[in-house]
Structure 1
């Protein structure tokens, strides 16, 4: 890791996407932290039988990885707009897949070698999907060790698209407690990544 996360956090999203494309995992960490809340907010708008919100968030993170690898900075669209489009398409694919499975009796389902459920042009490379899920899991593990249980829980609900007030209601705590936990979590994450520079 040649560049510190602090230095990476100062780069634009488009520049970070270029670094991810060239294999820089730390750049993907920074983008994941930047986009996790946005992806959670977008995921909140979709639902499908057999899928939880976290499934949509993970799919959105795979979309973020795909966006990093395919973003063209010469395009007029911003990186954020591109990520939103890719994530929404992936969410729609999940919903359509669930609807198709619901419409077909399970006794007549047949496994196919080629999975045509993905949108045209989207990467379905199992290795990339596995790496993105593993990366997400490692990031969550790191956050669990860094934060208290309450800070982690409030942060995950917040990143899942809830406001701190909604998170407070869900956890049965005051809005002030939830907001304080969220602010502490953000500060700890920021200090942790800044300390990695040294």
Structure 2
């Protein structure tokens, strides 16, 4: 049995053939998994990242144009990577909202009265956040930290390279080193 090319599947998919879309999704699920796992070290849920990555893949299938010169694999990988970077940045920004501005919900989803130990929890979370921040600064070089911050702000590798006056390959290596260092640092007990 011969394998149908991605481009042939894309054409069928863009003309409404659901089986072609399903085949592309099956083929590119490992790519989504690869990029989703790259953000798990930040404490984000793998399942949530997979869903967001699949949404980015579906968008890539819908919007791909072969006349622009890029192979679909390249285009899909970039869409998935950028989509997950934006989600990660958004999630991490949301985590920085002061807890004093949030209201606890009861099991029914209604705003509940704050518990008496809430101030303690706030202090503990703030201390944990400060500790993680100090560990990151201690583990990462200035360049790695700058690359990571720009990535979390939603910049692509090319944008980071442009802002820092480096090559995309240099940015990729710096972020790879940062990931390894953070995995080790966050896995170690305080």
Higher normalized helix content (fraction of residues) = 2
Instruction: Determine which structure has greater relative contact order: mean sequence separation of CA pairs < 8 Å that are 6+ residues apart, divided by chain length.
Output: 1
TM value normalised by structure 1: 0.47
Q: Which has the larger radius of gyration?
A: 2
Tell me the TM-score normalized by structure 2: 0.48
